Amino acid sequence: MASISIDNVRKSFGAAEVIKGVSFEVADGQFAVLVGPSGCGKSTLLRMIAGLESVTDGDIKLDGRRINDVPPDQRGIAMVFQSYALYPHMTVAENIGFSLELKRVGKAKIRAQVRQVADMLQLSELLDRRPSALSGGQRQRVAIGRAIIKQPRVILFDEPLSNLDASLRVQMRAELQRLHQELKPTIIYVTHDQVEAMTMADTIVVLNQGNVAQWAHPIELYRRPTSTFVATFIGSPRMNLIRGIIAGQEAVPSFAAAEGWTVPLAGSTAARGQPVWLGIRPEDIRLVDAGAAADLSCKVAIVERLGAETYLSVVNGADTLLVRVQGDVALRPGDTVQLALERAGFHLFDQTERRF
Amino acid sequence: MRQSSRAQAAAYGFLTLTLIFCLLPFLWVMFASIDPNATLFLSLPKAVTADHFVKIFTANNGGRWFFNSLVTVGATTGLVVVVGGMGGYALSRSSAWWKRPLLYAIILIRVLPPTALIVPLYKVMLIANGVMGALVRGVVPADSTRAAMRIFGFVDGYLGLILVLSAMQLPLALWIIKTYFDLTPRDYEEAALMDGANGFQRMRRILVPMALPGLGAAGLLTFIGAWGDFLMPLTFISSAELQSLPIGLFRAFTRANTVDYGYLSALAVLYMLPAVAAFGFARRFLVRTFTGGIKG
């Protein structure tokens, strides 16, 4: 297995620069996820690592060796395509064994290895079928089998679960994790789904408009997003952002929301009078009974009762806040609620949307 | 109710009449080809004979005509499928600004009636023939120059006819194959590239099998189009031994004084068979049986 280092990599298509100097590293055996909104350049970056796109500038290194100009098949990298791209005229066994066949491996040896991979992926019964006779999840597994039979140093996944329905996606997520634990390959996985990123990754690279917005462990990303972009992209439902300024005394600063309410801040480094964004996750807002100490009161706009938890969309002037409440809460739109904000869950961002 | 069933009966009656009208020429040709006393009028043969067919191969050079047709049209089909396959692929994958104008220019060639261009075309071929003649004389001993030119000549030679027929059939084939490759995602090739397939292997193992229906359709239309072409062999072939089936059929019809309808029909049947066979052969490629490699 292998480590990958991306060093100030750039990619231009004509005059348009889509990757603007990206750097990060993936350690040996790590499961790295590139995540970002569509058009952020994550698939392009993955294709550059695979060798399907040229590198305009910067270095891609595999185990310290520069591979910018190494042909795709000699990099020791396998790729699972978003569309799977299973060869429709070949059986499952032929699809999985194709790369070995091209390497002129003996027929008996190919058969043995294909069988081994198929056993691991529960495809043994399907080896003689063509891709058209398989379900979505089975096709996905064949695509993975085609990648791992090469015993690659790195496996790249390009949004592999986006064509599956929700329940199958959860199942395949677990299978991918199991596979990663068994084989311990280095994995770079592209997705726009932050849930996939959070559940599977050892390390997440958040990309935005061709730049790395943040590169960290999933929980670090969740706890300490460095910008409002990462703050709102990671976490579901998304973090609330409230516009306001720093007010109060030097020793006891407070946040004064543009909508009129105030909340004390513990140890803020921001200067008084400075306009800021206060970020707070929906789970860090609590409902409190009338009469108890509350930070602000809001009007309920939308109630989503999921049983185990309830999402409330509440309105305070121009701000709409999302509140995540444990258990079932029988509120109705139009009701007034008292909210308390968890001080530990405060994230302050300056006007350039960077974290203080 | 009664009204509608009467209307239905009328509709079926009309359709039946139309069907018979359409089938008549085929029936006439079938019957006449085995009728010893075939006339211009449709009639059930009172006796059955194979004499007309035998006559094609004995009294005339029918076997030779058939062979000539098969060679020229077969080579045309092969050439068009190979060139159209590669060109269609390139046109599909290219994103050059001139792609669309070029595609329309190509189809324009097909739209222009060949008859309108036959004179300048003949002139061009004559010049090319002169060059080829000089080349052949330089390489081949003098006593076999004539035989070599029958194969490599641009006028009154196989090669010339094959190239002209191919040029006529290529535009449509390019369009069909290009459209087909448009529907074949690049992912397959990239997957094969990642699997370690070189250019030739990607073509032979991935692209050609996947494009088979498109190639089959283009090949079939090329074969049928070239097989049915009359003007090109008439214009570019003059030697009796290079004459092909449509010309033989034409000469049999325009022969002086009497028309031998039985012989003519037998020749027509013979002329139709390969087209039917080509259809039967290509039919299995035409249905796109391969789906499901992409997406779920």
CA atoms of B13 and A44, how far apart (whole Å): 64
Q: Which residues of A touch B199 (CB under 8 A)?
A: none
The two tokens of residue B81 are: 């499928």
Task: Find out whether A7 and A55 touch, Cβ atoms under 8 Å.
Answer: no
Report how many domains make up chain A: 2
Q: How many Å apart are CA B194 and CA B189, to the nearest integer?
A: 9
Co-location of B71 and B29 in the same domain:
no
Q: How many CA atoms lie within 13 A of B16 on its CB side?
A: 6
Name which of A48, A67, A99 to mutate to probe chain B: the one with the most chain B Cβ atoms within 10 A of its Cβ: A99
**CA torsion through residues B105, B110, B113, B118, sign:** positive
Nearest CA in chain A to B295: A83
Residue B146 shares a structural domain with residue B190: yes
pLDDT at A185 (0 to 100): 92
**B67 and B122 share a domain?**
yes
In a domain, A161, yes or no: yes
What is the domain range of residue A261?
240-349
Q: Verify whether the Cβ–Cβ distance B296 to A81 is below 8 Å.
A: no
Task: Give the pLDDT score at B93.
Answer: 92
Residues B224 and B153 in one domain: yes
A and B: number of Cβ contacts within 8 A: 86
Q: For residues A223 and B142, what is the distance between their CA atoms, to the nearest angstrom?
A: 92
Per-residue pLDDT of chain B (296 residues; tens, 9 = 90+): 566 888 999 999 999 999 999 999 888 898 888 888 877 777 788 888 888 888 888 877 888 899 999 999 999 999 999 999 999 999 999 988 999 999 999 888 888 888 888 999 999 999 999 999 999 988 888 888 888 998 999 999 999 999 999 999 999 999 999 998 998 889 999 999 999 999 999 999 999 998 888 898 899 999 999 999 999 999 999 888 888 888 888 887 777 677 788 888 888 898 999 988 888 887 777 765 444 444 43
Q: Is residue B293 part of a domain?
A: no
What is the residue-level pLDDT of chain A in tens, covering all 356 positions?
589 999 999 999 989 999 999 999 999 999 999 999 988 999 999 999 999 999 999 999 999 999 999 999 899 999 999 999 999 999 999 999 999 999 999 999 999 999 999 998 989 999 999 999 999 889 999 999 999 999 999 999 999 998 888 888 888 899 899 999 998 999 999 999 888 999 999 999 999 999 999 999 999 999 999 999 999 999 888 999 999 998 887 778 889 999 888 998 877 667 788 899 999 999 999 999 887 888 999 999 999 999 999 999 999 988 999 999 999 998 999 999 999 999 999 999 988 878 88
Q: Which two tokens stand for residue A110?
A: 């190919």
Q: How far apart are CA A103 and CA A74, in angstroms?
A: 12
A330-343 pLDDT tens trace = 899 999 999 999 99
Helix (H) or strand (E) holding B252: helix B245-254
| Residue B138 and residue B22 in one domain | no
C-alpha to C-alpha distance for B36 and B34, rounded to whole angstroms: 6
Tell me whether strands A296-305 and A336-341 are parallel, antiparallel or unpaired: antiparallel
What local confidence, expressed as pLDDT, does residue B289 receive? 42
Q: Are B265 and B33 in contact (CB under 8 A)?
A: yes
Report pLDDT digits (tens) over A69-85.
999 989 999 999 999 99
The answer on A266 and A214 residing in a single domain is no
CB distance A132–B293 less than 8 Å? yes
The rounded distance, in Å, linking the Cα atoms of B236 and B149 is 13
Q: Which amino acid is at B193?
A: L
CA dist., res. B67 & res. B88, Å (int): 30
Out of B191, B205, B291, whose CB is closest to A81?
A: B191
Cα-based torsion angle of the residue sequence B112, B118, B122, B125 in order, rounded to the nearest 10 degrees: 20
In a domain, A82, yes or no: yes
Q: Are residues A125 and A153 in the same domain?
A: yes
User: Chain A: residue nearest B192 by CA?
Assistant: A99
> How far is it, in rounded angstroms, from Cα A232 to Cα B173?
53
Inter-chain CB proximity A77 and B194 less than 8 Å: yes
Output the pTM of the full model: 0.82
Shared-domain flag, residues A163 and A99:
yes
Q: Is the peptide bond before B213 cis (omega within 30 degrees of 0)?
A: no
- Selection from B262, B233, B261, B265 nearest residue B246 by Cα: B233
For residue B185, which residues of chain A lie inside 8 Å, CB to CB? 83, 85
Q: Assess whether B69 and B36 both reside in one domain.
A: no
Domain end marker among B9, B29, B49: B49
Residue among B193, B291, B294 minimizing CB distance to A72: B193
Domain containing residue B1: 1-49
Please say whether the beta carbons of B217 and B71 come within 8 A. no
Closest CA to A237 of A322, A130, A334, A330: A322
User: Are residues A224 and A281 both part of a single domain?
Assistant: no
For residue B296, give the nearest of A77, A133, A139 by CB distance.
Answer: A139
What ipTM score was computed for the predicted complex, to two decimals? Answer: 0.84
pLDDT given for residue B223 in this prediction: 93
Task: Name A9's bridge partners.
Answer: A22
Contact A163 B195 (CB under 8 A): no
Long-range contacts of A291-296 (CB under 8 A, 24+ apart): A292/A338, A292/A340, A293/A340, A294/A338, A294/A339, A294/A340, A295/A261, A295/A263, A295/A339, A295/A340, A295/A341, A296/A257, A296/A261, A296/A263, A296/A338, A296/A339, A296/A341
E runs forming strands in chain A: 4-13, 16-26, 31-35, 57-62, 65-66, 77-80, 154-158, 186-191, 203-208, 211-216, 240-248, 253-257, 262-264, 275-280, 285-288, 296-305, 309-316, 319-326, 336-341, 346-349
The 8 Å CB, 24+ separation contacts for B248-254 are B248/B60, B248/B61, B248/B62, B248/B65, B252/B60
Q: Kindly report the backbone phi and psi dihedral angles of residue A150, in degrees, each rounded to the nearest multiple of 5, phi listed first.
A: -75, -5
Total structural domains within chain B: 2
CB of B91 closer than 8 Å to CB of B103:
yes
Same-domain status, A229 and A244: no
A73 and B196 in contact by Cβ < 8 A? yes
Q: What pLDDT does B287 receive?
A: 64
Contact A73 B193 (CB under 8 A): yes
Chain B nearest-CA distance from A54, in A, is 14
Last residue of a domain, one of A233, A251, A270: A233
Q: How far is A164 from chain B (nearest CA, A)?
A: 7
Q: Note the pLDDT tens digit of each residue in B164-182.
A: 999 999 999 999 999 989 9
Domain boundary among B29, B49, B69: B49
Q: Is A281 exposed, middle or buried (0-12, 13-18, 19+ CB in 10 A)?
A: buried
Chain B residues in contact with A83 by the CB 8 A cut-off are 185, 187, 294-295
Does A356 map to a domain? no
Nearest Cβ partner for A84 among B209, B291, B294:
B294
Instruction: State the smallest CA–CA distance between residue B280 and chain A in angstroms.
Output: 22
HEC profile of A230-283: HHHHCCCCCCEEEEEEEEECCCCEEEEECCCCEEECCCCCCCCCCEEEEEECHH
B55 found inside a domain: no
Cβ-based contacts of A102 with chain B (< 8 Å): 195-197, 201
- The tally of CA atoms less than 13 A away on the side-chain side of residue A288 is 15
Q: How far apart are CA A228 and CA A215, in angstroms?
A: 14
Q: Is B265 inside a domain boundary?
A: yes
Q: Are residues A229 and A262 in the same domain?
A: no
**Whether residue B41 sits in one domain with residue B64:** no
> Mutation test of the interface with chain A: which of B183, B184, B188, B195, choosing the one with the most A Cβ atoms within 10 A?
B195
Q: What is the token pair recorded at A152? A: 């690659």
